Structure 1
Amino acid sequence: MQGKGILKSKTYLYLTEFFAGMSVMAVELGASRLLAPYFSSSQIVWTIIIGTIMIAMALGNIFGGRSADKDPNPDRLYGRILFAAVWIGLIPVVGKYIILGISALLIFSVNSNFLIWAAFVSCMAVFVFPLFLLGTVTPSLAKYTMDSLDDNGRTVGLLGAFNTIGSIIGTFVPTFVTIPSVGTSITFLIFGGILLLLAVVYFLSTGNRNWKLVLAAVLFAASCVFGRSDSFAFWDHGLLYEGESVYNYLQVSDNETETILSTNVLFGVQSIYKKEKGMTGLYYDYAMAAPLMADIGSRDTLQTLVLGMGSGTY
């Protein structure tokens, strides 16, 4: 098809595919870090994240293909990318409130498998729609990039390659660069900003400067102002430390008798430091019975090798 504006060259279409693939994987990894403090990062939660995102992408593929056949206007595709960018930018602002709100409602209506249902509904509410919109990118771009059936295999192959390379970068960069250095919230803003820029450049190049661009820019700017906090336990202002590592969300709380390290917001304790020694009242105390179970006397010498417990304090 004959392109307009920046689409007169197919390069921008391939760049769109590249950044869309990158953003999908970045959002998926960000989803795991956003849900982990509330639901853990178990295989169950990962299955829910991957499954719901695949559902969204599949539905997006179907809708994108039909939409491109019905109206092959790139304005519609880049409008969807613009909407997805704003939605992703709003996740750091409202995502944690939606998750806790859904969890609070399901507590009174779900009798079993609460974690599964709460994680599934939360993932559907927060992440499915923007990834559905990004799922429309590939079939739409296939429509826009093909000039004839003679080179359609090569064209689809190039689109797939750009999407895959973008996905690879979108897998490694959040995990090893952005999340450890600037946190999950800023990671969402970075990749949402890339999509926003992608759509804005297209619309400006075609001379289409409508109110949607202004509204999207204002909403995204507001997200950058109000969504920069990585406080998952936003109701607790007495924490000694709250942050993220390459591996986990970290929370340190302190009281008169102990300092507690947790990797979850509402449940689970990784380790406890007792200021005045004594028992913790948790399962850690069973380790104190190890010498008795091994039938070791008080004067016997015992050599042990401890594997792991990199941040253990007990």
Structure 2
Amino acid sequence: MRLKVSGFPNGGADKVVSIDNGSSLNQLVKHLELSDECNLIAIRFGYPPQRVEIGEVALETSLEDLGLSSGERVNLVLEGGTMAAPVKRKDPVLKPSQTWIETSDGERRILQVHKVPDDNSCLFHAISWCMYKDISLSYQLRELCSRVIVEHPMVYSDAILGRPNREYSEWILKRDSWGGGIELAILSNELQMGIYVLDIDAIKFEKFNDDLYDKFFVILFNGVHYDAIETDDGICVFDKRDEMGDLILKNVLNIARQLKEKCYAFNTQKAKIICNICKEKFVGERDIAKHAEKTGHTDFGQSS
């Protein structure tokens, strides 16, 4: 488990600490090696912020049972009931792929794009990162889609798939096959998670199962490539019932607008797209996907 810890005495710098899964709060406190003069009385973490008082029961409780997860930001609360004052720093200059979010209690976070490899499996990479913070599980998501398609031939009929059910189920297992709406719908159901796809060109969400699940994550689509959305402390999954979920949905639109202004989006239905490797031109995502599958080329741009 990795945690970003802030609020050290005397404005000490934030630290990223690694601690074994299953560790107790007491083990975390010992790991921080705070001085004897530092009287830690509580920790704060999460959205909305939770406060855990330092006491005998809490110290013996595992971090997971307290509600902490890997990637969490933990603020130390010192004697007096306030967090140690951090060193005043100038706000960093943000990239077009980043924007600020601020909660009602004044906490600020950066919302940003997490880039995944551009290798024809970007949809699966983006979902794998949002769910597991690890893209090595991308192929397992392909296998999951393939299995669901075979098991439900009436739902995923030849007409829906555009090819025979069995053929499609084998095709999606190929690493150079592009995933799309069918795979998004399947994975949303199987993961029991809303998947919100933000089209950068249209500045519009396509939401999968937002009516069924409160938890969700956001992935960006620029017409030919998917990327994940996360906060700067590594949170990808949000809850539409709380303040942070609402802030994510509002502020991620700023990122989409900024990226569109930087010509990061392609309108594959109207604009001509060029393969930057062989210079062949296309109109429509289907033709681009077929070309990528046939040649292995993944570097596309908008043709003049």
Structure with more contact order per residue of length (Cα contacts < 8 Å, sep ≥ 6):
1
TM over 0.5: no
More strand by share: 2
Q: TM-score, normalised by structure 1?
A: 0.20
More helix by share: 1
Q: TM-score, normalised by structure 2?
A: 0.21
